Amino acid sequence: MFDRIRALIDRLHEVQEVNALSDRDLDDLGMSREQVLAFLKMPRDIAQRVSAMGRIFGLSETELKRDHALWVEILSTCGHCADRTACARLLAKGDAAQPAEAGFCGNRTTFVDLAPHAI
């Protein structure tokens, strides 16, 4: 119970910090206030999941982050995914996971398009 209360207090502080950001701060982040607030609501492991899924498609984290706007879009798609269980099962396979097994992934087309070689 204490952990849930602590998490709620931490979240409230994060929202206050986002609301205190200036337009210039948001421009520097390359995100709108609404996008930052939406990211606060997402599970904390989104960036790690996206990077891991990208590796299945032969993409490095550097390649995924090359276009900041696209990176934010990919994170957002992942953050709103309803197939976290299927994703977790595929990511648990590690190096044995194959792109063909990721048909559920909302970012699949983007990963294929970004892949350095044909999948």
Sign of the torsion formed by the C-alpha atoms of 68, 74, 77 and 79 = negative
pLDDT at res. 59:
96
Q: Which of 116, 112, 106 is nearest to 82 (CA)?
A: 106
pLDDT tens figures, 23-73: 998 898 888 898 888 877 777 888 999 999 999 999 999 999 999 889 989
Predicted confidence band at 119 (pLDDT cuts at 50, 70, 90)?
low
pTM: 0.70
At which residue do the structure tokens 């879009």 appear? Answer: 73
pLDDT at res. 29:
85
At which residue do the structure tokens 């990211």 appear? Answer: 39
Instruction: Tokens for 49, please give them.
Output: 């999941």
pLDDT at res. 96:
96
- Spans of all domains in the chain: 1-41, 44-119
